[in-house]
Amino acid sequence: MTGALFDTEAFDGHEEVHFFHDAQAGLRAIIALHSTVLGPAGGGIRMWPYASDDLALRDVLRLSKAMTFKMALAGVALGGGKSVIIADPARDKSEALFRAFGRAVDSLGGRYICAEDVGTTPEDMVHIDQETDHVVGLPGKSGDTSPLTGRGIFRAIEAAARHRFGSDDLNGRRVAVQGCGNVAVQGCGNVARHLMGYLKDAGAAIVAADISETAAARAAQEFGAEIVAPDALLAVDADVLAPCALGGILDDASILVLRARIVCGGANNQLAEDRHGRALHEAGILYVPDYAANSGGVFSASREALGGGEARARAQVDGIGDTVGRILERAEADGTAPSEAADAIARGVIAAAKDASIQ
């Protein structure tokens, strides 16, 4: 396992990778700390029935790295981490499982601060909270991070439209949203619903797809979305494609069929590989790096760990548009892909913090 871990393409100098197993509680989990240079590693808990342990490991490594870059761009005093629980959130949740996970988090001594993610909810955090203080996103505190995440993605889309079209007015713009929210699994897809609410209010024409017919029908009813088959969405002629399901959708094959002028959404790790950011750029498609667009949840949850009220978090979320604008301007000035520009900015923040710590 050690050789496989260090040799995998997803490994990027991660500081720590921990594997936890509690047979009695049904827990199989991995916690990855990519960097604690800027502060304790913060990141959500993804609960998903991975087809293999290798896929779970790859996911947690990539997600934790993205969290490091997300924190750096957001300017918060947190590093990047992530965790995955290998289980089906529709049938495997229990208090015992989450309490066992809480003990795992607590064993790291505060180096990792966890929160909800795909497949987990604020209510699940309550059980974790019984075993560790290193959890945020509890009901009655920051709670559900999806409202501010959706708002931040909307601000990012506005910034991308301003850069590509010369105006951030989305009235009449066609936005294709991938993933409408899994109504059968709490904690899946609420971001897309909040985003579609903002898009509707802005007068955008929404096209949506979801593997759940129930979720798609709800999007049609609530937001007036035109519904297409999931395998047809990427080829829809749209001003913006907003991926809001799982990651890895932008690869060699999908980029060839994309007809959107902009890609900007809430899903993590939208690029199947880092090189696909360059491929989008060369195809003439403006890609907003996912960790820049979907950082609203960071501002929502970090106020529990670092202090600050809801008004401050909302103001920080509205600043995501400015951050995206700076990334796109730097990419244009340097002749690079936006994904490359964002990575360079984030790595610069981390390098500066390292230099300051040794002076």
In the numeric block, the tokens 């974790």 are attached to: 128
Q: Is beta strand 112-116 parallel, antiparallel or unpaired with respect to 174-178?
A: unpaired
Q: What DSSP letter does each residue of 135-152 carry, written as one string?
A: B---TTTT---HHHHHHH
Integer Cα distance of 86 and 48 in angstroms: 5
What is each CA distance from 280 to 51, 64, 268, in whole angstroms?
28, 23, 17
Q: Where are the alpha helices (DSSP H) in the chain?
A: 2-7, 53-74, 95-106, 122-129, 146-165, 190-201, 213-223, 252-257, 275-282, 290-293, 296-306, 310-318, 320-334, 338-357
Q: Are 215 and 238 in contact (CB under 8 A)?
A: no
Residue 333 CA to its chain's centroid (Å): 27
In the numeric block, the tokens 């955008």 are attached to: 204
Structure tokens at 1: 């396992």
Residue 208 CA to its chain's centroid (Å): 19
Integer Cα distance of 106 and 135 in angstroms: 9
First-to-last alpha carbon distance for the chain, in angstroms, is 37
Q: Which position among 82, 93, 200, 354 bears the catalytic label?
A: 82
The yes-or-no answer on residue 82 being catalytic is yes
What residues act catalytically? 82
